Amino acid sequence: MRTARARVGRGTAACAVALAFASTAHAEEPSSAATSEDAAPAEQPPGPPRPPLPPAPPRTRLPWARHIEIGPDIALVNRFGSNDAAGQPTGIRLKPAVGVGVHARWEIFDYLRFSAFFVHAEHELALQTGALAQPGPITAEPREDGAPAVRSLALGARLAPTLPLGERARSWLSVGVGYDRFDFDRMRVSDPGGEFTVRERGASYVEIPLGLGVSFDIIRRWLTIELETSGAFVLGRGGDATREGQAIDAQGRRRTIGALPQTRGSFVQTLGLSLVL
């Protein structure tokens, strides 16, 4: 009886072990399937080689064009006029002077340019006897041994129809508008009763310059030399310089000082260099 029970127990245990093994194997099957599905696909055979890139297009240089010119000038400046604003002679005129300037030009297109200019000069005054309505000699102050002077400047702009003369030369006519300023130095009048001072005075005008010029490229596309001649007539009555003034002499008396000349026009010749940009 005991032997039979023992056999039954061993059989039951064997069946339980077999069932557990089967369930374990059944549980592991999906994992194995998933692992097989996640495996990397087989390598594809290499395709044909990539064709070479086409050759680069040839490099082309952009055509050169003249745009802006800028440079310094040496100027010979003449200012005309010896009468005051009322048309009365003053006995004074401005001597010609060598000045300096600067210019800039922009080529709008081949046959038209725009330019800006500046010219500065210092003119010595030529005084006749009785100038400024004073009988005594007149000198500059503080330069008492020198003649009085006036500083002039002209600032303006022009339009210039331009004619190319080959690849390196050009000529042009110009018309424009500008601003003129004159600053007369302080002066000293020698009088029998003692010396006294005449204060500084100034005048301003609008000018209309007309010009003719020619240029040539010394270094092609880099450096240009040019010569320009212009004449201008001025508009306006100036300032306090062209009217009578007053001063206090050595005795403390008020003295009437005559007017300085009103400028009627100018004539300017410039020789310049331009850097081509």
Please state, in angstroms and as integers, the Cα–Cα distance from residue 142 to each residue in 187, 188, 193, 195, following that order.
8, 8, 20, 13
Mean of pLDDT over the chain: 84
Tokens coding 127: 């005084």
Strand ranges of the sheet holding 138-140, from the earlier edge strand across to the other edge: 138-140, 187-189, 196-198
Percent of the chain residues past pLDDT 70, beyond the cut: 84
Q: What does the alpha-carbon distance between residue 93 and residue 133 come to, in Å, rounded to a whole number?
A: 15
Written in H, E and C, the secondary structure of 210-277 is: EEEEEEEEEECCCEEEEEEEEEEEEECCCCHHHCCEEEECCCCCEEEECCCCCCCEEEEEEEEEEEEC
Residue 130, helix vs strand vs coil: coil
| Spatial contact of 188 and 147, defined as CB atoms under 8 Å apart | no
In tens, the pLDDT along 213-229 reads 999 999 988 999 999 99
pLDDT band of residue 49 (cuts 50, 70, 90) is confident
User: What is the distance, to the nearest Å, from the Cα of residue 255 to the centroid of all Cα atoms in its chain?
Assistant: 48
Q: Does the pLDDT value for residue 4 go beyond 80?
A: no
Position 42 confidence tier, pLDDT thresholds 50, 70, 90: low
The DSSP output letter for 35 is: H
Residue 253: C-alpha distances to residues 133, 140, 164, 186, 260 (Å): 15, 21, 65, 19, 22
* Dihedral Cα 81, 86, 90, 93, nearest 10 deg: -10
- Break the chain into its structural domains and give their ranges: 68-276
pLDDT for the residue numbered 30: 46
Is the peptide bond between 142 and the residue preceding it cis, with omega within 30 degrees of 0? yes
CA 231 to chain centre: 26
The per-residue pLDDT for 202 is 94
Residues 163-185: tens digit of each pLDDT: 999 889 999 999 999 999 999 99
CATH of 68-276, picked from 3.30.420.80, 3.40.50.150, 2.40.160.20, 3.40.50.300, is 2.40.160.20
Cβ atoms of 177 and 210 closer than 8 Å: no
Nearest to 106 by CA among 97, 92, 116: 116
Range with the largest mean pLDDT of 1-10, 76-85, 136-145 = 76-85
Read off the pLDDT of residues 11-40 as tens digits, 9 standing for 90 and up: 454 444 444 444 544 444 444 444 444 555
CA distance 180 to 183: 10
Q: Give 41's pLDDT tier (boundaries 50, 70, 90).
A: low
Distance between CA atoms of residues 228 and 103, nearest Å:
11
Each residue's pLDDT tens digit, 122-163: 999 999 988 999 988 999 887 656 789 999 999 999 999 999
